[in-house]
Amino acid sequence: MARSLLGNPVNRVDGPVKVTGQARYAADNNPPDLCHGYLLTSTIANGMVLSMDLGAAEQSGGVIAIYTPDNRLPLHGEPPFLPNVLGERRRPLSDHEVRYHGQIIGVVVADTFEQARDAAALIRVAYRELPPNSSFEENLDRGEQPPFVGLPLGVPVDIGVASIDDALAASQVTQATTYRHPPRHHNAMEPHSAVAVWKGDELTIYSGTQGPAAHAEELAVALAVDKTKVHVVSPHVGGGFGGKAFTWAPTLLAAAAARSLGRPVKIVTTREQLYTVTGHRSAVVQTMTLGAREDGTLNAIKHHSFTEALVEDPGVRTTLSFYATPNLQLRLLCPPGMNLPTPTILRAPGDETGSFALECAMDELAIRLQMDPIDLRLKNYLRTSLQTGLPYSSKHLDECYRVGAARFGWSRRRAAPRSVSDGDWLVGMGMASAVLAAGRAATTVRVLFRADGTAAVATATADLGTGMWTILAMMGAESLGIPVDRIRPSIGDSRLPVGPGSAPYGAIGSAATATVMPAVRDAADNAIAALIQHGVTHRRSPLRGLSVEQVRYRDGKLSGGGTTIGFGELLTTTRTREHGATTTNEVKESTEYVFGSYAAHFCEVRVNRFTGEALLSRMTTVVDAGTILNEKTARNQITGGVIFGIGPALFEGGHVEASTGRIDNANLADYLIPVNTDVPDIDVVFLDHPDPNVSPVGARGLGELGTIGSAAAVVNAVCNATGKRIRDLPITPDKLFE
Amino acid sequence: MRAFTFDTPATVADAVAQAGDGSAYLAGGTTLVDLMKLDAMTPTRVLDINRLPMRGIRLEGARLSVGALERMSDVADHPMVRARYPVVAEALLRSASPQVRNMASIGGNLLQRTRCGYFRDPDTPCNKRAPGTGCPARDGHNRAHAILGTSNDCVATHPSDLAVALVALDASVLLRNRTGERIVRLDDIYRLPENTPHLENQLHPGELLTEVSIPALDWARRSTYVKVRDRQSYEFALTSAAVALDVRGGMIRNARVAAGGVGTKPWRLPAVERALTGRPMRLDTFESAVAHAADGARPLAHNRFKPALLRRTIVRALTGLED
Ligand SMILES: Cc1cc2nc3c(=O)[nH]c(=O)nc-3n(C[C@H](O)[C@H](O)[C@H](O)COP(=O)(O)OP(=O)(O)OC[C@H]3O[C@@H](n4cnc5c(N)ncnc54)[C@H](O)[C@@H]3O)c2cc1C
Ligand code: SF4
């Protein structure tokens, strides 16, 4: 066959439609007779809606309907399992209670978005207001062990001796440090939007989602219809980051309002509303206590973490998979009943926060022991799972350190802070590691040969900007031996084939590529077998009568008995539009290995000696994630991930007003994310060692790897530059200038 | 956004004749339209002034005159501005983003409204937006707020970087109203909040800012603008300093210093200017001159760092003017 595409940089197949504005995102759909819903949100954080004066709004131009807790849209049941734990459980408008500032308390539907928005502003709401419990800091001593929810989240972990404190006390060196993250918001470019169209009892909904099939299921539960009646269309997603993994109220309300009005309804969440109605990452306080020998060997780790509510688990996942230690204790505590918006998962859930604490603590320990931070990490290199004792498959993190150190010039780092400067700028270097538990899930893929000479490859996953369209096309081309431009990938639609288990959730956990790729290969093999079967049995086929064994498929052609025929020609001859197979790829939990993906980050920072601004001058990230399928999309994921980690290090954080529960910076001018000038050159290197144990393709997940540990690399570099150890993110100039 | 009437006057006379209470001029719209969408400004009449002949950057005698409709990016790029008043060009280039600067006018920049988050959110009280309702910023989130010129009724920062540079240069503005024209020093245009924070400047209702006039100042060629902020673009100042020095033979003969991000209006610092004058051009001069830069400051819970940061910002700016 032609030169393999895999491992080479391939341009995005969806690039042209995106740069020319032809890609249709959810809100770009404008079916006939469309009307627009606008969400009305609460201006208190705790209490009751007593009454709503709708008079002026009802008289306002173009208004069609106003839904409130007194005029509810019927929404039923509770979300199914995962979203019940990780999304918002309560149905919007279901009662008069207000639990957080910015909670949905009404929907105004009008002919235009502007009319709906302006009418919503005319609604006067009378509340019975109670003092809000919205201060994270004031709740720190109210933490409780969260109840078991059927997932490993929040479940205590104890490894080694009975008392971790004894183990720490027995260590030659102990170090206890506390690290803080403010709340973090996804801030995907595309806001949550939905356009709902009912035909009889069937719903078609255009709504950006990471998992179209799960989205359909969640909608079906809420609308009390069979899930086959719900068709989710979401070919392009303008960023998800976990915020579009589950179904949030705006989508439910669009569907319910459209049903009630008998007209299509579009709801586009405003930027400000996104901060409260579509989930966020909880603020986190973590205490990391390390016990070690003077030579750096870890003896005990005690990692306690405190979050607003049980969702992500920055205690467990990360620390379990970084370093060898005979003794380990992990705890997660949450306070009950805070008046804050619902937290959910966010890119690198748990791992981003956990790696920040652990990788900063390791840097602090290295400084204390006067060791090179890389040597300390190598000293505690983890080769077998702390929990199961199984070996890590194809782990090359040590090579990441080595290659990264050489490329970055780590040997030029001076251990003593403030020893390097460039004019008025203090220069520092820092590093950190990243470990991502590399999962792979079951999925189902359909491969169909078509009479027009193309092949359709379809599965109900999503492209969040992650490159899934391209990877699917490439893998289809590779498996069928035909050029990429003859592959017709399909994703982002709930009617496409869906796998079992968590597969409906599509693109989560950085596992989409690792999951879908081997499945495409298997599905292609089955489709080829089906094609051959068709060729030897169809009465019009020139191959008819041959045995299956006599026919070979190669590069889009079947040959046997002296005849060679392209599949398009064959199907044309047999008057068959398309033929192929749908294949479910089961994944057995490995009993021999544990899987991770790895990276080492290196960062150079400059800090102004007068005024304390920290500017990143360069970063190097070396990645070990098995086979790299498309260098271009992989590099894009890592670069984007590193920037996603720089964000909380230097800029990001929601400001919740303790006295009102209001988020003070719920917009993109005041909630700071890095802009181009803040982002340094990021040198990304892939080791590209195929992992034969994960799948025949050898690829592990990498989407979240860039984000894990990168904030710690920044913090460690700042400490090397200035001697100041910042444990409370973000690092703003006021923390550094004095 | 509330309903409003919209007109596009063709002459300055026409514009001021149509303007009055409840009207707003629309220049680049980068402040006005934002605030109208948020319902923080609700003019009943909007007058688009972009057709008015208020453009041009030219020398008038020794002064540099800049039409109120000149865009921030064009002024920042202008060779005369860059050569004679680097502090102006730098203040502009460190403002907003290229997209905003391409759209935003000089007049609109000087008259832009505060970035106080409560002012922008009509669901919260705010004396500036709704007189008498209170000032939640005093006990709320006030990292970006002012420490100088504040009152119990308002602690909002004046957001313009350009205004800081122009106040340092003693610039004036030309105002047109129905009865005629007047020239006012920019420094005098801005009011302190006192107990009337809703009155931000001395413009009469309907008055139009037509031109900015910068006096000749030979030694302003040695000037700079330093802005400290939480990110490197698209962000307002935590503190900023506009400085110009007349240095001869290693001695400072004259100085201009103004600060941003700290005051309820652009904050000229005459005491620092005096302390620099007649002293050698050296770090210890700078450090002792700024000792009293933040005298009278009333820091708030989240901006206690500002007095010290302000002093350091000025020192950094001054060291930047060393040969
Ligand atoms: C994201 C963002 C970041 C920003 N960052 C910065 C920054 O870092 N530094 C900075 O200095 N600015 C910053 N700005 C503010 C920006 O500079 C101002 O919005 C802009 O200069 C206003 O000019 P305009 O022509 O768009 O004014 P408009 O929005 O049209 O008008 C602003 C106000 O002035 C009035 N007005 C306008 N022209 C006249 C006139 N000729 N006579 C009388 N009244 C008039 C209007 O009625 C209105 O009240 C930022 C803005 C944004 C959106
Ligand atoms: S500081 Fe001024 S603008 Fe801000 S809330 Fe107070 S009164 Fe309003």
Residue-wise pLDDT for B87-124, tens only, equals 999 999 999 999 999 999 999 999 999 999 999 999 99
pLDDT, mean of residues B130-159: 97
User: Which residues in B lie closer than 8 A to residue A43 (C-beta atoms)?
Assistant: 123
CA B64 – CA A656 distance, rounded (Å): 46
Q: Is the confidence at residue A210, as pLDDT, over 70?
A: yes
* Tens digit of each residue's pLDDT (9 = 90 or more) over B212-228: 999 999 999 999 999 99
Asked if residue B91 and residue B194 are part of one domain, the reply reads yes
One-letter amino acid at A699 equals A
CB contact under 8 A, B309 and A655: no
Q: Please report, for chain A, the start and end positions of each structural domain, with discontinuous segments joined by +.
A: 15-21+441-585, 31-131+189-239+244-277, 345-439+591-736
Domain membership of residue B254 (yes or no) is: yes
Query: What is the CATH topology of the domain spanning A31-131+189-239+244-277?
Result: Aldehyde Oxidoreductase; domain 4 (3.30.365)
From A164, A12, A27, A149, select the one nearest A81 (Cα to Cα): A149
From B81, B49, B45, select the one nearest B65 (Cα to Cα): B81
One-letter amino acid at A462 equals A
* Tens digit of each residue's pLDDT (9 = 90 or more) over A570-621: 999 999 999 999 999 888 788 899 999 999 999 999 999 999 999 999 999 9
Tokens of A508: 């989560």
User: Minimal Cα distance from A424: which residue of B?
Assistant: B316
Confidence band for B248, pLDDT divided at 50, 70 and 90 = very high
Number of structural domains found in chain B: 2
CB contact under 8 A, A615 and B232: yes
Domain membership of residue B127 (yes or no) is: no
Q: Of the candidates B97, B115, B231, which has its C-beta nearest A651's C-beta?
A: B231
Domain membership of residue B202 (yes or no) is: yes
CA B166 – CA B242 distance, rounded (Å): 9
For A189-250, the DSSP string reads SSPPEEEEEEETTEEEEEE--S-HHHHHHHHHHHHTS-GGGEEEE-S--S--TTTTSS--HH
- CATH number (domain holding residue B92): 3.30.465.10
Q: Of the candidates B123, B141, B309, which has its C-beta nearest A734's C-beta?
A: B309
Residue A316 has a pLDDT of 64
ipTM associated with this complex? 0.96
Ligand nearest to the CA of B113: 1
Domain membership of residue B131 (yes or no) is: no
Asked if residue B308 and residue B189 are part of one domain, the reply reads no
| CA angle in degrees (0–180, nearest 5) for A90-A91-A96 | 85
CA A90 – CA A222 distance, rounded (Å): 11
Asked if residue B189 and residue B107 are part of one domain, the reply reads yes
Is ligand 1 within 6 A of the CB of residue B314? no
Residue with tokens 């819903």: A37
CB A486 within 8 A of CB A455: yes
Q: Is the confidence at residue B316, as pLDDT, over 90?
A: yes
Q: Say whether the peptide bond before residue A730 is cis (omega within 30 degrees of 0).
A: yes
Asked if residue B291 and residue B225 are part of one domain, the reply reads yes
Tokens of A119: 């009418």
On the question of a common fold for A31-131+189-239+244-277 and A345-439+591-736, the answer reads yes
Confidence band for B193, pLDDT divided at 50, 70 and 90 = very high
Asked if residue B75 and residue B196 are part of one domain, the reply reads yes
Asked if residue B242 and residue B106 are part of one domain, the reply reads no
From A55, A57, A175, A38, select the one nearest A117 (Cα to Cα): A38
What contacts A522, CB < 8 A, 6 or more positions away? A445, A583, A585
Q: Of the candidates B230, B234, B316, which has its C-beta nearest A732's C-beta?
A: B230
Q: Burial, A89: exposed, middle or buried (Cβ in 10 Å; 0-12, 13-18, 19+)?
A: exposed
CB A595 within 8 A of CB A693: yes
Looking at per-residue pLDDT, the higher value among B171 and A515 belongs to: B171
Q: Which atom of ligand 1 is nearest to the CA of B97?
A: 3
* Tens digit of each residue's pLDDT (9 = 90 or more) over A115-143: 999 999 999 999 999 999 999 999 999 99
For A22-34, the DSSP string reads ----GGG---TT-
pLDDT, mean of residues A359-377: 98
pLDDT, mean of residues A193-202: 98
Please tell me the distance between residue A39's alpha carbon and the centre of ligand 1 in angstroms.
Answer: 29
Percent residues over pLDDT 70 in chain A: 98
Domain membership of residue B39 (yes or no) is: no
Distance of residue A61 Cα from the nearest chain B Cα, in angstroms: 11
CB contact under 8 A, B315 and A610: yes
β-sheet with A124-129: strand ranges across: A97-98, A47-53, A124-129
CB contact under 8 A, B305 and A608: no
Catalytic residue among A58, A589, A704, A738: A704
Asked if residue B182 and residue B301 are part of one domain, the reply reads no
Q: Of the candidates A664, A732, A733, which has its C-beta nearest B141's C-beta?
A: A664
CB contact under 8 A, A675 and B139: no
pTM of the model: 0.95
Q: Is the confidence at residue A439, as pLDDT, over 80?
A: no
Pocket test for ligand 2, best of B114, B152, B195 (most atoms within 8 A of CB): B114
What contacts A562, CB < 8 A, 6 or more positions away? none
Residue A1 has a pLDDT of 38
A345-439+591-736 in CATH: which number? 3.30.365.10
| Phi/psi of residue B47, nearest 5 degrees | -115, 110
* Tens digit of each residue's pLDDT (9 = 90 or more) over B6-37: 999 999 999 999 999 999 999 999 999 999 99
Ligand 1, atom 17, residue with closest C-alpha? B109
Residue A509 has a pLDDT of 63
Chain A interface disruption, residue of B38, B118, B123, B318, most A CBs within 10 A: B123
Residue A441 has a pLDDT of 79
Asked if residue B64 and residue B201 are part of one domain, the reply reads yes
Torsion over CA of A341, A344, A350 and A353, rounded to 10 degrees? -40
User: Which residues in A lie closer than 8 A to residue B40 (C-beta atoms)?
Assistant: none
User: Which residues in B lie closer than 8 A to residue A675 (C-beta atoms)?
Assistant: 97, 231-234
Q: Determine the structural domain holding residue B306 and report its residue range.
A: 221-319
Q: Is the confidence at residue A286, as pLDDT, over 90?
A: yes
Asked if residue B288 and residue B190 are part of one domain, the reply reads no
CB within 8 Å of chain B, chain A residues 624-653: 650-651
Asked if residue B89 and residue B69 are part of one domain, the reply reads yes
Query: What is the CATH topology of the domain spanning A15-21+441-585?
Result: Aldehyde Oxidoreductase; domain 4 (3.30.365)
What contacts B135, CB < 8 A, 6 or more positions away? B118, B125, B126, B127, B152, B153, B154, B155, B197
| CA angle in degrees (0–180, nearest 5) for B186-B189-B194 | 135
Tokens of A260: 């009630």
A615/B contact by beta carbon, under 8 A: yes
- CATH number (domain holding residue B307): 3.30.390.50
Q: Is the confidence at residue A664, as pLDDT, over 90?
A: yes
* Tens digit of each residue's pLDDT (9 = 90 or more) over A72-117: 999 999 999 889 989 999 999 999 999 999 999 999 999 999 999 9
Q: Is the confidence at residue A510, as pLDDT, over 70?
A: no
Of B215, B250, B280, which residue sits at a domain end? B215
Per the prediction, chain A carries an average pLDDT of: 94
User: B103-117 burial, b for 16+ CB within 10 Å, e for fewer?
Assistant: bbbbbbbbbbbbbbb
Residue A701 has a pLDDT of 87
CA B181 – CA A688 distance, rounded (Å): 72
Asked if residue B275 and residue B236 are part of one domain, the reply reads yes
Catalytic-residue membership of A704: yes
Is ligand 1 within 6 A of the CB of residue B17? no
| CA angle in degrees (0–180, nearest 5) for B5-B11-B14 | 50
A430-444, A637-651, A668-682 — which is least confidently predicted?
A430-444
Read off the DSSP letter of residue A108.
E
Q: Is the confidence at residue A212, as pLDDT, over 70?
A: yes
Confidence band for A567, pLDDT divided at 50, 70 and 90 = very high
Please tell me the distance between residue A332's alpha carbon and the centre of ligand 1 in angstroms.
Answer: 48
Residue A3 has a pLDDT of 52
User: Which residues in B lie closer than 8 A to residue A611 (C-beta atoms)?
Assistant: 226, 228, 239, 309, 312-313, 316
Q: Is the confidence at residue A2, as pLDDT, over 50?
A: no
Asked if residue B277 and residue B180 are part of one domain, the reply reads no
